[in-house]
């Protein structure tokens, strides 16, 4: 592979990493903004439920487990509860009743809230985070090595 082709692949790798990072920020932007602005409270997991859902599609019907947690938090002396689809985290035992989580709420309506850790670690963001990490892990060191070298087209 020639140096030009290697640099082209490096550009694609880094572009993919930047695109994934930008998408992750868009998906969790409102939660991060609320956290930075100080609209957050400490919440406690008060209930953890597992529901079995029948999924129908083109194939045969199958069952899927849905893990939902209830988080209680207080804002200005009032107590609120939100229900959160805990994805795989509750199923893997990473979330239990009594755990403390950070809840980011809307300043105009504190009943509208999201759990910070799930906004940032939802399945889509988890996948994008992994891809971003790998892209930068592979691409950034090569970029540091090649950034000042001149390109000579060499054929193998």
Kindly tell me if the per-residue pLDDT of 16 is higher than 90.
no
pLDDT of residue 72: 93
Q: Tokens standing for 41?
A: 């409270």
The pLDDT tens digits of the residues spanning 28-44 come to 777 777 777 778 888 88
pTM comes to 0.59
Band of the pLDDT at 155, cuts 50, 70, 90?
Answer: very low
The residue among 100, 39, 47, 46 whose CA lies nearest residue 75 is 39
């Amino acid at each position: 592979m020639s140096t030009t082709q290697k640099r082209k692949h490096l550009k694609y790798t880094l572009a993919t990493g930047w695109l994934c990072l930008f998408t992750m920020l868009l998906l969790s932007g409102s939660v991060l903004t609320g956290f930075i602005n100080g609209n957050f409270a400490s919440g406690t997991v008060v209930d953890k439920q597992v529901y079995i859902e029948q999924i129908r599609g083109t194939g045969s019907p199958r069952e899927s487990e849905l893990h939902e947690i209830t988080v209680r938090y207080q804002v200005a002396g009032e107590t609120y509860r939100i229900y959160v689809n805990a994805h795989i985290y509750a199923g893997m035992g990473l979330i239990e009743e009594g755990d403390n989580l950070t809840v980011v709420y809307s300043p105009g309506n504190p009943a509208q809230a999201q759990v910070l850790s799930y906004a940032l670690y939802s399945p889509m963001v988890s996948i994008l985070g992994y891809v971003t990490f790998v892209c930068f892990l592979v691409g950034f060191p090569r970029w540091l090595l090649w950034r000042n070298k001149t390109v000579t087209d060499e054929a193998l």
